Chain A
Amino acid sequence: MLPNWINMLSWWQWAVLAAIPPAIVALYFLKLKRTPLEVPSTYLWHKSIEDLHVNSIWQRLRKNLLLFLQLLLIGLVMLAVLRPSWQSGSLSGDRFIFLIDHSASMSATDVQPSRLAEAKRQVLALVDRMKSGDRAMVISFAETAQVVQEFTDNRRQLRERVESIRPAHGTTSLAPALRLAAGLANPGSTATDATDIQVAEALPAELMIFSDGRFGPVDGFALGNLRPTYVPIGDPQATNLAITAFSTRRQETGQRQVYGQLQNDGPKPVAAEVELYVDGQLDNADAVEIAPGEAEGLIFPLPEMSDGVVRLNLSTSDALALDNQAYATVNQARRGQVLVVTPGNEALRLALRTTAASQVADVELVEPAYLESEAYQAQATAGHLDLIIFDQCAPQETMPAANTLLLGRLPGERWGEVRKKSTPGIIDVDRAHPLLQLVDLTNIDIAESMVLAPPAGSTTLVESDAGPLVAIGPRDGFEDLVVGFEIYGQSDTGERYVNTNWPLRASFPTFVLGVLQYFCGQAEFDAIRSVKPGQPVRLTGVAEAKRLEVVGPDGARDRVSRGKNHRFTFTATGQIGVYTVYHGPQITERFAVNLFDRTESNLATRPEQAIQIGYVEVAGKTDWEPTRRETWKLLVLLALGVLVLEWYIYNRRVYI
């Protein structure tokens, strides 16, 4: 390691400095001016000097030793003025936060052994360079951020904790990690509350981000006391062919097909063989060659199967192996479960019995009296009904754990005060909403309708001249679709009357089908679902199940209990692969976790490109350069020591 030099002097100052050593030597060449002193007799002195002449070489050397010391002194001063420093050395700052990206792209092997290992190696090297008493904290981040190690000055512990970071399969999100770091460096202060006393002292810290930069700018974040440094990890020329999409889909003809998309983000064209495995058996294969920056779609026919696992395998040796495999699951087709509570509604019954509607869901018709039964209570709380339609009756005090469609009734008090409006004129229909696609409401008449006051978060679907007539609003993870008018009304005298001519129009069964598809379509979608790593999965489960067991791709078993909404939500989807859900010994469903992230799959780091944190642009530091270890102080001390030594030798007549 060669020292760095900083020139502190201009050329003429150097000239003056350079003139000193010759001056010293010249002074030594000049005859020493001796102080004359009269003594009684030089007799004995002469004799003594004669004796010493035997040792004259030592005498000369003694004089020269002073010369050497003086030259050494001026040399040291010159060296000190040059300010030599070494690149090694301790880090500047005393508090460090190491943010280590361990997302999927960090598993890339374009730097050996992997990007994460490289990041860990660099962090460990920095930990080794920490001065005694320096404190550091380690945060790993992928989709979320975890504090791997709190602030500590225990370097051994830091090393162990850094080593313990395992690659994750998730996407990258820097913001949570920054918030974690900022929470420790910038303690919150509320400017509005005068009584708020800031208890923790704001401590500045060096924030070091070790990542491949596969994330977008972080908006709305103020660094405050954090001094960020971005260390890009990875080879900008890394090649990677990735599967960015893979799913199974049933065609109109009923034939299942597999769709896949391959993306080449590397700088070179890549040829690869694509193999399709169905339940572990090679089913199909293809050879592809993809130009750089291009994507290519793949379609394979899939044999008829009730359930199973489909795997797409890319046989190529690229940097990132995680996105060379994609999984899709085919679950047993599950039909929607719909409960219709109605005293009798021929139009609705007919609309639910169309061919298309009966393919989507199983419909059960019950009388309003059923609402009082225990069977209903069980159904309402079990949460496996996809939709309950309330016609001419209202649900009880507590809404059931299911989506609801209410005709002329309100789902509880949250929907606010309503007023009646006779013959409302429809002026606007939200046709972009999936419920009202292809539904034409221009030619229907309504005798009387409620004008709705939907709660916050609701979407008004049909707007009349008086106000909303149809709206859909959220409720604890479910949705309530409220149609403000009844199809069959009942007068105060008990007579039934037709409230609207909508059932006579073609739009009514279309709307009912849309409702079934909207609320029960999730079941169909569930059959082929795939999520990204880290995303939660809603498990369908079975009605009577209290607890499900999920076996991950690595064989790890997790137990899932019913949550607040009587639903099973599984969150530990960190691994890429197929997860199997068991109820007892029975497989209830499978789901796949795939990377499918172009940002993660694109391994090309851009070292010259800065990452944007709030309004601060943090330039990538490809050439990691720790602080200079200055040596001029040492040299000046050394020069002082030489000076003292010289003075001692001169004054104390040191014999050499």
Chain B
Amino acid sequence: MAKALASSNRQQTMNNTPPRASASPSTLHPQPSTALMRRLERLELVTRKVFRGRMKGERRSSRKGQSVEFADFRNYTPGDDLRFIDWNLYARLDRLFLKLFLEEEDLHFYTLIDASGSMGFGQPSKLDYAKQLAAALGFIGLVRADRVKIETLGTAAQANPTFRGRQNAWRMFDYLDAIRPTETTSLATGIKNFCLRNSGRGVVVLITDLMDKQGYQAALRYLLSGRQDVYVIQTLSSEELQPELQGDLRLVDCEDADEAEITVSAPLLKRYQQTLNAFVDEAREFCTRRGMSYVLVDNQLPVETLVADYLRRRGLVR
């Protein structure tokens, strides 16, 4: 119902047909290029925290389990799996010991994409950019047998597939491709729902523009509570970073149809830049203080550079 209402709202805005600040004529397929994929294959997702996975993976887990890597012995207690009893020790010491192995587990890699209307701006649109980024990061995860889960803020609880294994890359790309910037869920609600749905710990990459009038702080705090390794990638279009506007304008917010009447002038543009810088600095500060990684990206920055350079430096990939 809410979605229908939002979409009708949307229709109204569209009927007024205000020209868009920058149109995004076609959504790019989020699939990375072959060359990029080849580069991505050599990378792996890193987490600064060691988490428990659900399935065996290529990642060392705190959980002891079946692997080739020996960890420790412990006394046998009734009910233990007889397969892990060290029979050689039993022969020598006539006591039952269990061999404990380090379990290699998979990583929960969540990508949370803000698919609100504001993400549909830019050339390429911020959402397309977000999808490309998500595809690249997801591909790395898939190659390394991590559990890759991509969600949008407005995703219904049941429709959130988890991808695992390289063979699922195409499925993931198609899934990403279907995402449209039509959601109206606020940042806080979306993240809250996400956290409720996904209790598993892991790496969360939030790709958003943080342009939420109710503020992003509460939303990010939800992520913190889940003790997850959080990366906030704020994606802004160059139109937002360096607006090239002229004249007397009535700016219409594409999400809530809020209007702002401005007369573009040098002081106003200067003031906008100051506000933007303050906003970005505040977000960075907020994230850094709470152990989240914050990256501001311009939609003009190639995804390849972002992943192979920026995020590598940030320690998300290795």
Contact = CB atoms under 8 A, between A and B. Distances in A.
A34 B247 CA distance: 8
Interface in A7-54: 32-49, 51-52
Interface in B207-240: 209, 211-213, 237, 239-240
A655 B263 CA distance: 13
A34 B276 CA distance: 23
Contact of B266 (A49, A51, A655): A655
Q: Which of B18, B260, B269, B279 has the most CB of A within 10 A?
A: B260
Contacts of A55: 267
A34 B250 contact: yes
Contact of B21 (A40, A46, A52, A62): A40
Interface residues of B, number: 48
Contacts of A34: 248-250, 261
A45 B254 contact: no
A36 B262 CA distance: 10
Nearest to A46: B260
Given A32-B248, A43-B211, A655-B267, A37 B19 contact: yes
Given A35-B248, A40-B254, A52-B267, A47 B18 contact: no
A160 to B, nearest CB: 61
Given A44-B275, A45-B272, A36 B252 contact: yes
A41 B211 contact: yes
Given A48-B272, A49-B260, A654-B266, A38 B245 contact: no
Contacts of B182: none
Nearest to A33: B248
B271 to A, nearest CB: 4
A39 B266 contact: no
A39 B252 CA distance: 6
B120 to A, nearest CB: 8
Interface string A618-656: 000000000000000000000000000000000011110
B275 A48 contact: yes
Nearest to B23: A38
B250 A37 contact: yes
A62 B274 CA distance: 21
B267 A39 contact: no
A36 B260 contact: no
A62 B264 CA distance: 12
Q: Among the interface residues A34, A40, A52, which one has the most CB atoms of the partner chain B within 10 A?
A: A40
Interface in B277-300: 279
Contact of A47 (B117, B247, B275): B275
Contacts of B240: 40-41, 44
A42 B259 CA distance: 7
A37 B275 contact: no
A612 to B, nearest CB: 72
A37 B266 contact: no
B213 A39 contact: no
A59 interface: yes
Interface string B14-55: 001011110000000000000000000000000000000000
Nearest to A50: B275
Contacts of B173: none
A52 B261 CA distance: 12
Given A44-B275, A45-B262, A51-B271, A39 B250 contact: no
Interface string B131-163: 000000000000000000000000000000000
B268 A52 contact: yes
B177 interface: no
A651 to B, nearest CB: 8
Contacts of B262: 45, 48-49
Interface residues of A, number: 28
A331 to B, nearest CB: 102
B38 to A, nearest CB: 34
Q: Report whether over half of chain B's contact residues are helix, strand or loop; otherwise say mixed.
A: mixed
Nearest to B253: A42
Contacts, number: 122
Contact of B275 (A32, A35, A51, A654): A51
B66 interface: no
A434 to B, nearest CB: 107
A654 B263 CA distance: 12
B255 A41 contact: yes
B271 A52 contact: yes
A51 B269 CA distance: 12
Contact of B249 (A35, A47, A52): A35
B96 interface: no
A40 B267 contact: no
B18 A42 contact: no
B18 A36 contact: yes
Given A41-B209, A42-B259, A36 B268 contact: no
A252 to B, nearest CB: 114
Contacts of B213: 41, 43
Contacts of A41: 118, 209, 211, 213, 240, 253-255
Most chain B C-beta atoms within 10 Å of own C-beta, residue among A33, A39, A47, A55 = A39
Query: Which of A33, A35, A44, A62 has its CB near the most chain B CB atoms (within 10 A)?
Result: A44
B267 A653 contact: yes
Contacts of A36: 16, 18-19, 249-252, 259
A38 B260 contact: no
Contact of B254 (A38, A44, A49, A655): A38
A63 B119 CA distance: 34
Given A41-B209, A49-B260, A51-B275, A35 B247 contact: yes
B121 A39 contact: yes
Nearest to B120: A40
A509 to B, nearest CB: 122
Interface string A246-262: 00000000000000000
A55 B263 CA distance: 13
A407 B275 CA distance: 133
Contacts of B118: 40-41
Nearest to B126: A40
A59 B263 contact: yes
Q: Which of B19, B247, B275 has the most CB of A within 10 A?
A: B275
A37 B251 contact: yes
A421 B213 CA distance: 147
A531 B185 CA distance: 125
B258 interface: yes
A37 B271 contact: no
Interface string B92-133: 000000000000000000000000011111100010000000
B211 A40 contact: yes
B62 interface: no
A44 B251 contact: no
A398 B132 CA distance: 137
Given A51-B271, A51-B275, A40 B237 contact: yes
B272 A35 contact: no
5 contacts: A36-B250, A38-B18, A48-B272, A653-B267, A653-B269
Given A39-B251, A44-B279, 17 more contacts: A34-B248, A34-B250, A35-B247, A36-B19, A36-B250, A36-B252, A37-B245, A37-B250, A38-B252, A39-B121, A40-B21, A41-B211, A43-B211, A45-B260, A52-B271, A654-B266, A655-B266
Interface of A: 32-49, 51-52, 55, 59, 62-63, 652-655
The 9 closest A-B pairs by CB, nearest first: A40-B118, A653-B266, A41-B211, A36-B18, A34-B250, A653-B265, A42-B260, A40-B121, A42-B253
